[in-house]
Amino acid sequence: MSHARLDQVRARLEALEVDALLVTTPSNRRWVSGFTGSAGVLLISRDRARFATDSRYWEQVGRQSPEFELVQVTGATTGVAADLLEDTVDMTIGYEPAHLTMAAYEQWTAAVAALPEAAGPRLVPAPNAIEPLRLIKDAEELDALTRAVKLGDEGMVHAIKVIEPGMTERQLAWEIQRYVMEHGADDLSFSTIVAGGDWGSAPHAYPRDVPLPAGSGVVIDMGVIVDGYCSDLTRTLFLGEPDDQFKRVYDTVLTAQTMAEERVEAGMTGAEAHAIAAAVIAEAGYGEYFGHGLGHGVGLDVHEAPRLAPASEAILGDGQVFTVEPGIYIPGWGGVRIEDQCVMESGRARPLSAAPKLDLEIGVTA
């Protein structure tokens, strides 16, 4: 796997107008090398692939990244490994500006300046160097993503079974997290969101030590990591019999999501996909309460390309995995968000998520 991905990165060097690429973004490092550790820097040129890390990971690099030459870092931070610059005279080395901090950049430039050669390498920004290669998920990635989504679904079903009025938001979040960790999650994609009542009007609310009130909505947004790949799932529940306003808002969001999932197709831009759901919400009179994008890509990162949002020029295509998550958030009242993770296949979006959604006819999640 890493050999094929190395070839893809090398094919990008000419387009990036560089002789080598310095990879410091953790998820890009893992995608290229297969390395699952927490520290290391890659330098990929046309004829060499080097991996610099400290003694904690020397054996691990040998197991997981055999295509890479190990550069053993000692007595220095792994984030800046001057030994990687050996034999880089007159080379142009691209770096990832979205990840490299100013402090790290200054350390790298100092390492270049300290080289004995008169004509050392030149560091130039190479934005978006690897991310386009990660857009299309291969079979192994789709398998991991599908398993992550399935475990997320199971975690949500557990939440539906145990939720009750009086339970605090934090208690419910812990129930979800405990369940998924006990059933195979490597970690959480992000901190679980549980927001009851009017707290649900904050799209990125956090769970509080506040009891969930009867007769109110509860927004639950959760995700897990399986074999490095993420899931992202949101459901909005109701504790009791939904009132007319909740039914109107929920039905609007569900209709927007359903229409988007049915009508999104390959070749659309992210902005065009967003507009499908936004039009439904606006027509129902809630346009001002839908302030975020329709969705985002999911893979090794829980938020990655492509973006489905008003200004997104990303072209949607087969093999991409992304969320569809419209929402309505009304200050002082609460919110509703429904989110599925989808894969684009044969030009259409196929939902991977299968967790139950609220059935307004009977007032429960089924």
Q: What is the pLDDT of residues 164-182, one digit of tens each?
A: 999 999 999 999 999 999 9
Domain end, chosen from 133, 158, 177, is at 133
CATH number at residue 6: 3.40.350.10
The domain of 224 spans 135-365
Give the pLDDT of residue 361: 62
Report in angstroms the alpha-carbon separations of 219 from 22, 318, 338, 362. 41, 30, 9, 19
Question: What is the Cα–Cα distance from 155 to 171, expressed in whole angstroms?
Answer: 14
Q: Is the pLDDT of residue 76 over 80?
A: no
Query: Is the same domain home to 121 and 24?
Result: yes
In this prediction, residues 52-64 reach a mean pLDDT of: 95
Query: Is the same domain home to 290 and 304?
Result: yes
Query: Is the same domain home to 174 and 319?
Result: yes
In this prediction, residues 28-44 reach a mean pLDDT of: 96
In this prediction, residues 63-68 reach a mean pLDDT of: 96
Q: Is the pLDDT of residue 358 over 90?
A: no
First-residue to last-residue Cα distance in the chain: 41
CATH number at residue 321: 3.90.230.10
Q: For the chain, give the mean pLDDT.
A: 94
3-state class (DSSP) for residue 18: coil
Domain end, chosen from 133, 153, 178, is at 133
Query: Is the same domain home to 153 and 125?
Result: no
Query: Is the same domain home to 64 and 188?
Result: no
Give the pLDDT of residue 115: 86
Query: Is the same domain home to 7 and 89?
Result: yes
Give the pLDDT of residue 366: 45
Give per-residue pLDDT as tens, 238-272: 999 999 999 999 999 999 999 999 999 999 999 99
Query: Is the same domain home to 91 and 22?
Result: yes
Q: Is the pLDDT of residue 1 over 80?
A: no
Domain end, chosen from 101, 133, 165, is at 133
Query: Is the same domain home to 176 and 212?
Result: yes
Query: Is the same domain home to 148 and 207?
Result: yes
Question: What is the Cα–Cα distance from 90 to 12, expressed in whole angstroms?
Answer: 19
Query: Is the same domain home to 201 and 110?
Result: no
Give the pLDDT of residue 362: 55
Question: What is the Cα–Cα distance from 104 to 73, expressed in whole angstroms?
Answer: 16
- How many domains does the chain divide into? 2
Give per-residue pLDDT as tens, 334-352: 999 999 999 999 999 999 9
